[in-house]
Amino acid sequence: MNRDAIFDQPVRYIKGVGEARARLFSKLGIRTVCDAVNYFPREYEDRTKVKKITEVMDGEECGVCARLISDIAETRPRGNLLITKALVSDGTAFMSLTWFNQGYIRNTLQKGVDYIFFGKIKRTGMRIEMNSPVIEKADQSGKNTGRILPVYSLTRGLTQTHLRNLVENSLKIVRDKLEESLPDDLRKKYKLSQVQFAYEEIHFPKSLSNMETARRRLVFEELLMLQLGLIRSKGVNTQLKGIKFNPVDMGPLLEKLPFSLTNAQKKVFEEIRDDMTSSRRMNRLIQGDVGSGKTIVAVMALYMAVKNGCQGAFMVPTEILAEQHYKSVASLFESLDIKVSLLTGSTKKKEKGKIKQLLKEGKVDIVIGTHAILEDDTEFDRLGLVITDEQHRFGVRQRAKISAKGENPHLLVMTATPIPRTLTLVLYGDLDVSVIDELPPNRKPIDTYAVDESYRQRIYNFIRKNVAQGRQAYIVCPLVEDSEEISAESAEGLAERIRDKELKGLRVGLIHGKMKAADKEAVMRAFVRGELDVLVSTTVIEVGVNVPNATLMVIENAERFGLAQLHQLRGRVGRGEHKSYCILFNQSSSELSRQRMEIMTKTNDGFVISEKDLELRGPGDVFGVRQHGLPEMRIANLYRDIDILKEVQSAVKYIMNNNLLGDERYKSLTDRLDRVMNEKFREIAMN
Ligand code: ADP
Ligand code: MG
């Protein structure tokens, strides 16, 4: 059998695994021998500790080597309960053992024979007991006792023993076939163990420090593949030459603003300016919490491009957002004699044609719009800067598509998703990152309350009171069971109920993901114009939409949302002069939910929130991550492994800067990367 065939063998053919068990393994994602050895333990049980009976302590888990000195006694206090008892001694003391409903014990143990018993000690005065210990003959120990055992995540019908046997047998098959994908120089530089050591010691470690060493290597490798894979699938060459802009006097633009820039805005713009005046093309991400003032920074970059004789494109994910940006930006630019056009899906055909013509001739300086900008017949005369707002809505491919409309135009992407630092490094490994870490002055914090069902009537009264004062409210229903269908129904149900009952008399609108885009836009517009008092929605409410008159955000089943997502939703209010509130209905009584809600009520800082979320729930639930199609990690923990990630980052730089992916010594790494990308990055590449 060739190497691939060995790794690709279905587990069905492995000793002790049949058709039925193979089906159970496949529920865990284990189909092949390769899957099996890459199914890493969740934790470990250290069974190396063996003590004398006199030394054991109450509550301790340990092994005892002792001889069976009594007969096996069985009693049946109730029909369905069998109790088995035995007495053992190791010469220092006695210990009594008890099992429940384990009829086989009678035939397993023999009087006068030495065994290792492993379990939890119960010690009351002189009496020492162990319940349902693991048993191994002393002269045959080493499989289930006397060593560190892996603990795997299971599914119903499988036991640890099933998995341990599967992995052990799979390891036997591939042990000598494991290929070292990390080149020697890299392993030396970053002190990484060899592949065979890593796989053996991660599953059946001889010591916990061996396990740590093994884990470090595997985490490093996984993160390295992820980073190289992302860079490669994006096809972004970070070292591309760009259009070298000249510095521009920003005075005329800044004079027109009714405010002065925050220090954070100034700092970030300087970074942008440095990029655009270098000979390298800019490839930068701006992260800034909702309301931090990203738009004006984008406008400044556009101004600089135009003053350098170039055109700029500003892409946003929805029509409403495009219109809002157009409204606020166009008049500012027109007063500076800069021509701005709006291009969206609903721009009339004739008008569209005209705008495209002007763009092509270079008579429009800036185009603001949606995906319509990406259409094949949108051409530019001299595109110098492309900005995408709320970047997680745009795939990499779309970014690539628009930048192909110019010659290496500078790229700026903006996001309000406060992604924790680690994830930023992973997801945007190819981008330089700027953070606007300061809100404009005089922002009123949004008061947030976490409440339970008993508050429902009071909350509806509160909505009425706000509406009576001329304000508007959002009520957000969660995504149910990951199904937009069911969620839409639940939102519909809620809207109907409150229209007829609790909020009778108010104008209640509904918006959900199952509606046609045009219908969604129509409802959203009505809300923007103040023709609706309350908007019930699933999580589709558009990012970035600005309705300053909305002051109340009510979130149903808040416990089901990621914190960062709650924070984004909360950012829909507090955008005007009026005091705003966010009400979180927490329908769960779990301690974790309570903690998470408390974080929301205590802080308005998106980065703090997303870090906490990552810590409490893991990366899969951090908002924005799914949209990126971040592949699931097998062993790396993006929260805990930040130190390794930083080393990986430096390794990636080293590899890219020295062009090592094409190097003969790095062939095994490149091959491995190809394979990993085939498996994991299909989705990302499709975007
Ligand atoms: P976001 O980062 O969420 O896109 P915006 O760019 O929409 O935020 O800005 C939010 C609001 O803050 C806008 O009304 C904008 O005019 C205002 N703003 C931006 N920068 C400042 C500043 N330095 N001082 C005061 N207000 C500002
Ligand atoms: Mg914005």
* Mean pLDDT confidence for 103-111: 91
pLDDT at 94 over 60: yes
Ligand 1, atom 19, lies closest to the CA of 293
Q: Does domain 251-278+293-415 have CATH number 3.40.50.300?
A: yes
The C-alpha atoms of residue 12 and residue 654 are separated, in whole angstroms, by 42
Label residue 686 by pLDDT band (50, 70, 90).
very low
Query: Out of 57-71, 404-418, 474-488, 500-514, which region has the weakest mean confidence (pLDDT)?
Result: 474-488
Residue 481 has pLDDT above 70, yes or no: no
Q: Read off the pTM.
A: 0.66
Quick one: fold of 1-43+160-172?
DNA polymerase; domain 1 (1.10.150)
Residue 598 has pLDDT above 90, yes or no: yes
Taking the centre of ligand 1 as the mean of its atom positions, its distance from the CA of residue 323, in whole angstroms, is 16
Question: What number does CATH give the domain 49-146?
Answer: 2.40.50.140
- Indicate the DSSP class of residue 478: P
Domain coordinates of the chain in residue numbers? 1-43+160-172, 49-146, 251-278+293-415, 447-603
CA 355 to chain centre: 39
Residues 543 and 393 sit within 8 Å (Cβ to Cβ): yes
pLDDT at position 622 over 60: no
Retrieve residue 392's tokens.
Answer: 């997680």
Instruction: Give the helix, strand, coil percentages of the chain, each rounded to 5.
Output: 45, 20, 35
Q: How confident is the model at residue 620 (pLDDT cuts 50, 70, 90)?
A: low
Arithmetic mean of pLDDT over the chain? 87
pLDDT for res 606 = 84
What confidence category does residue 158 fall into, taking pLDDT thresholds of 50, 70 and 90? very high
What's domain 447-603's superfamily in CATH?
Answer: P-loop containing nucleotide triphosphate hydrolases (3.40.50.300)
**pLDDT attached to residue 393:** 56
The encoded tokens of residue 528 equal 């923007």
Separation of CA 369 and ligand 2 centre (Å): 14
Task: Tell me, in angstroms, the distance from the centre of ligand 2 to residue 483's CA.
Answer: 28
User: Who contacts 304 (Cβ-Cβ below 8 Å, separation ≥6)?
Assistant: 245, 248, 250, 273, 276, 385
The total number of residues shown for the chain amounts to 687
Choose the residue to mutate in 292, 328, 368, 439 for probing ligand 1, maximizing ligand atoms within 8 Å of C-beta: 292
Range of lowest pLDDT (57-61, 232-236, 427-431, 644-648):
232-236
Task: Calculate mean pLDDT across residues 517-541.
Answer: 88
- Dihedral angle, C-alpha 191, 195, 198, 200, nearest 10 °: -150
CA distance 216 to 222: 10
Cβ–Cβ contacts within 10 Å for residue 506, how many?
A: 18
- Whether residue 416 contacts residue 543, with contact meaning beta carbons closer than 8 Å, is answered with yes
- Does 541 have pLDDT greater than 70? no
The pocket around ligand 1, CB under 6 angstroms, is made up of: 259, 261-262, 265, 288, 290-296, 416, 440
**Nearest-angstrom CA–CA distance, 475 and 478:** 10
In 10 A of CB 453, how many CB atoms? Answer: 9
Q: pLDDT-based confidence at 649, cuts 50/70/90?
A: confident
Tell me how far the alpha carbon of residue 169 lies from the centroid of ligand 2, in angstroms.
55
Q: Which ligand is nearest to the CA of 440?
A: 1
pLDDT, one tens digit per residue, over 280-297 is 889 898 988 888 899 999
Q: DSSP of 309-328, one letter per residue?
A: T-EEEEE-SSHHHHHHHHHH
Under a CB-based contact definition with an 8 Å cutoff, are residues 379 and 323 in contact? no
Report the 10 Å Cβ neighbour count for 58.
11
Strands 114-124, 127-131: pairing is: antiparallel
Over residues 652-671, mean pLDDT: 88
172 vs 681, higher pLDDT: 172
Higher pLDDT, 110 or 125: 110
- pLDDT band at residue 684 under the 50/70/90 scheme: very low
Distance from first CA to last CA of the chain, Å, rounded? 37
pLDDT class of 392 with cuts at 50, 70, 90:
low
The answer to whether the 251-278+293-415 and 447-603 domains have the same CATH topology is yes
Residue 241 tokens read as 């030459």
What is the structure's pLDDT at 646? 83
pLDDT reported for residue 412 = 93
Q: Where are the alpha helices (DSSP H) in 369-429?
A: 396-403, 421-427
Tens-digit pLDDT profile for residues 130-151: 999 989 898 877 777 788 999 9
Going by their DSSP bridges, the two strands 581-585 and 508-511 should be labelled as unpaired
**String of b and e for 621-642 (b: at least 16 CB within 10 Å)?**
bbbbbeebbbbebebbebbebe
Q: Which residue has the higher pLDDT, 560 or 639?
A: 560
Shortest CA distance to 392 belongs to which of 424, 435, 367? 424
Which residue has the CA at smallest separation from atom 4 of ligand 1? 294
Residue ID of nearest Cα to ligand 1 atom 17: 293
570 neighbors 553 (Cβ within 8 angstroms)? yes
Mean pLDDT of 436-446: 85
Find the 439 Cα to ligand 1 centroid distance in Å. 8
Q: What are phi and psi of 82, to 5 degrees?
A: -115, 125
| Residue whose pair of structure tokens reads 């290929």 in the numeric block | 179
